[in-house]
Amino acid sequence: MAKAAKTNTEDYLRMYTQMVRIRAFEDNANQLYLSAKMPGLTHMSSGQEAVAVGICEALTPEDKITSTHRGHGHCVAKGAEFKAMFCELLGKEEGYCRGKGGSMHIADQSNGNLGANAIVGGSMGIATGAALSAKMQKTGAVAVCFFGDGATAQGLWYEVMNMAALWGLPVIYACENNGYSEYTRTDEIAAGSITARAEAFGIESYDLDGQDVLAVNDLTQKLVERCRKGEGPFFMNLKTYRYHGHHVGDINREYYRAKDEESEWKTTRDPITNFGKWLEGEKIATTDELIEINNSVRKEAEEAVAYALEAKYPDVSEVDMHVYVA
């Protein structure tokens, strides 16, 4: 674990709890898929919790994020509630998007989440535009653009990085580098260094361990402050790992990823386990207290799932509502 950022016990425990909440959310979402209770597919972010939480804990609700198809973690980390999230995954009226977006488009405007995006790299312009408007309106808000290593192959990123660097926009490009572009190893399809690509635009860039929530949070706090002073944009290449397949149905995946590799990450580099050990070592929490956090989060998640399963679908009259702003 990295040296503690300027923070306190309450912040540490909230970060731990938020990571546990993401894991619990994903486990329940996966179960909903496996038990055929959820329409469609979904993409699990289990294993990547420290990136979402480390970054979002350095932001205020006024700061914006854009998310990805693997976006539940970002949504939870930016402050979303389980009930409205599960309702959205099940297409229910009380979902964040009244059931119209689903897993891949979940957005939570009240907390500054401008939405997940089902086009790989599709939100890079939106995040950069949010930074442009923050600068124009002098709101002091920062935008964080989450995307995966697969998205670094999209031309849009280079277009918007160029403009962000030219105009000094308060945006942080956060690459959740889990090593895989869907079903292909990214090192098979990416030439050179991803970090060097951002540096080529004169953007200050960092490679860091995305499993270390304190390291992620510490750096993000510093970069956010600098963004607010007009020193953005920045790039973070966060090395992380997704425990599941590309999506919940991607079960037999040994043709592109070895089981040994998966179990090594899970047993030695799990962001929640390792942070828990650090909290115990620093005497910030006892084993029992951490177990209690896990139990209460699991209970909250199960209750939210039960609620969402019973919740009502939107009335059919809503089908052509919200095509246009009235």
Question: Is 159 near another protein (CB under 8 A)?
Answer: yes
Which of 2, 126, 284, 309 touches another protein (CB under 8 A)? 126
Question: Is 134 near another protein (CB under 8 A)?
Answer: yes
* Cα gap 272→279, rounded to integer Å: 10
- The DSSP letter of residue 103 is G
Question: Is 163 near another protein (CB under 8 A)?
Answer: yes
Question: Is 45 near another protein (CB under 8 A)?
Answer: no
CA atoms within 13 A on the CB side of 239: 7
Strands 171-177 and 234-239, sheet pairing: parallel
CB closer to another protein out of 13 and 200: 200
Which of 39, 125, 140, 168 touches another protein (CB under 8 A)? 125
What does the CA dihedral 175, 240, 25, 73 come to, rounded to 10 degrees?
A: -20
Q: Which of 227, 172, 235, 177 is nearest to 206 (CA)?
A: 235
Q: Kind and range of the H or E element at 25?
A: helix 9-34
CB closer to another protein out of 63 and 209: 63
User: Do 250 and 280 contact (CB within 8 A), yes or no?
Assistant: no
Question: Is 153 near another protein (CB under 8 A)?
Answer: no
Question: Is 321 near another protein (CB under 8 A)?
Answer: yes
- Please measure the distance between the N-terminal and C-terminal CA atoms of the chain and give it in whole angstroms: 51
| Minimum distance of another protein from residue 158's CB (angstroms) | 8
Show the site string, 78-117: x = touches another protein by CB under 8 A, - = not.
-----------------xxxxxxx---x-x-x----xx-x
Residues lying near another protein in the complex (CB under 8 A) = 64, 66, 95-101, 105, 107, 109, 114-115, 117, 119, 122-134, 136-137, 139, 141, 143, 155-156, 159-160, 162-163, 166, 321-325
